Chains A and B, each alone.
Chain A
Amino acid sequence: MTKVTMKINGKEVSGEVEGRTLLATFLREDLHMTGTHIGCDTSQCGACVVHVNGKAVKSCTMFAAEAEGADVATIEGQANADGSLNVIQQAFQDHHGLQCGFCTPGMVMSAAALLKENPKPTESEVRAYLEGNICRCTGYHNIVKAIMAASGQDVSAIAAE
């Protein structure tokens, strides 16, 4: 076992991990932060996306020990300080960007990473950025619409297909 210390959503946390402990496992099973979901566990689906030092990564495909000293952001840290939904989360609700909700934590974290890099993405840029996030309910249209809306763009012309 190795001791790891990292900052998660601005708060310093430590824990004892095995070499093989995944960052996703550390978050969920050791810290009980179950907002980060594990869908496929094969780095395909993106439900486990978190930010490590500001970059979107799949937390099921990174070891907790590799996050030693890192700044980690998870879905639990996304809401506004008063507990209300942040602009991306609110847009997902307003535009029906989720149905079962399983993929949503990863979708929101990927969307946040995209909008930080590219504050006004085109529809095709949004779709390209979501290549690694799989949703089996929505057909993606409303997720794309929500992210476009969260970026402050007019989405009235995007049909609700």
Chain B
Amino acid sequence: MYAFDIERPKSVADAVAALGTEDAMPLGGGQTLIPTLKQRLASPAKLVSLTGVEEMVGVSTDHGMLRIGGATTHATVAAEAASSFPGLAGLASHIGDPAVRNRGTIGGSLANNDPAACYPAAALGTGATIITSNREIAADDYFEGMFTTALHEGEVITAVSFPIPEKANYQKFLQPASRFALVGVFVAKYSDGVRVAVTGASNNGVFRWEEAEAALSADFSADAISGLSVSADDMISDLHGDAAYRAHLVKVMTGRAVTAAA
């Protein structure tokens, strides 16, 4: 790692102020950023650690919404969202491994927007709202492609607000070495329709499978998508699975998620 300074602010306001200097970067749980720094793929002058900002930690429900602070760990979401939103808690409980889940945060995952990360599928698959230090961004406007989001320099995800669905499930086809999704599909059923978001598959990052959403909104069963197919254009192709394989997995995992939705 190149040398850098590290600051540990106690409030969102102090974190934003600390991020105002040149080449400062926010540090969530560090489970992606620290390995990146070790590879010298990032060279900040200063890291602003967000894990000490108490107002950014916690899980609460209010009027059908589940609000999760940006610095809340995956382990905490897995435990504390289990009764209010089991589909999301289940997703959180399978990210990485137990030690990673004790450090990694939802805000860090969404800010990084890894094309194979799990949380982007949940945020897009529920139409969540990303709440930052200065505005609110709808998930549909937030994800802008692989490792790219609507966040500006120095902007911090302070919380994420999820509309709690009637039923939801996340199915991850595990890439067992990285523990990321080879393909992951989040399905959420609301009174006014179904949303389906896919991670791990596309070169453009997380996306909604709108044909499946329409079919499942009319008939929420795995059979409803049996006639659909997913184009392999723009799918990730690597030694773990080629584009056609990933396109096939999207449909398989969507069907499994619908069947398992609770």
Contacts and interface: CB of A to CB of B under 8 A. Distances in A.
Interface residues of B, number: 26
Interface stretch (A51-59, A86-94, A96-104, A146-154): A51-59
Given A19-B47, A132-B96, A42 B38 contact: yes
A133 B96 CA distance: 11
A57 B1 contact: no
Interface string A22-53: 10000000000000000001110010010000
B98 A129 contact: yes
Contacts of B75: 55
A131 B101 CA distance: 12
A17 to B, nearest CB: 9
A38 B32 CA distance: 18
Given A43-B35, A61-B103, A129-B98, A66 B3 contact: no
Contact of A20 (B37, B49, B103, B179): B37
Interface string B1-22: 1111110100000000000000
Interface string B166-192: 000000000000010000000000000
Contacts of A57: 99, 102-103
A58 B35 CA distance: 12
Contact of A18 (B3, B30, B35): B3
A7 to B, nearest CB: 17
Contact of A65 (B8, B38, B97, B102): B8
A62 interface: yes
Q: How big is chain A's contact interface, by range? A: 20 to 34
Contacts of B30: 61-63, 66
Contact of B1 (A20, A56, A65): A20
B31 interface: yes
B201 to A, nearest CB: 23
B6 A61 contact: no
Interface string B36-51: 0110000000110101
B244 interface: no
B31 A61 contact: yes
| Main DSSP-derived SS at the A contact region | mixed
Contacts of A19: 3-6, 46-47
B37 A56 contact: no
Given A57-B99, A132-B97, A43 B31 contact: yes
A46 B100 CA distance: 10
A66 B49 contact: yes
A62 B27 CA distance: 10
A131 B6 contact: no
Nearest to A114: B98
Interface string B74-98: 0100000000000000000000111
Interface centre among B2, B46, B47, B102 (most CB of A within 10 A): B102
B262 interface: no
Contacts of B31: 43, 61
Contacts of A65: 6, 8, 49
B34 interface: yes
A19 B43 CA distance: 12
B45 to A, nearest CB: 10
Contacts of A46: 97, 99
Contacts of A55: 75, 102
Contacts of B38: 41-42
A24 B90 CA distance: 30
Given A62-B103, A68-B8, 20 more contacts: A2-B6, A19-B47, A20-B2, A22-B34, A41-B38, A43-B35, A43-B100, A55-B102, A57-B99, A57-B102, A61-B31, A61-B103, A66-B8, A66-B49, A66-B51, A110-B98, A114-B98, A131-B97, A131-B179, A132-B98
The 7 closest A-B pairs by CB, nearest first: A132-B97, A19-B6, A55-B102, A131-B97, A20-B1, A65-B6, A19-B4
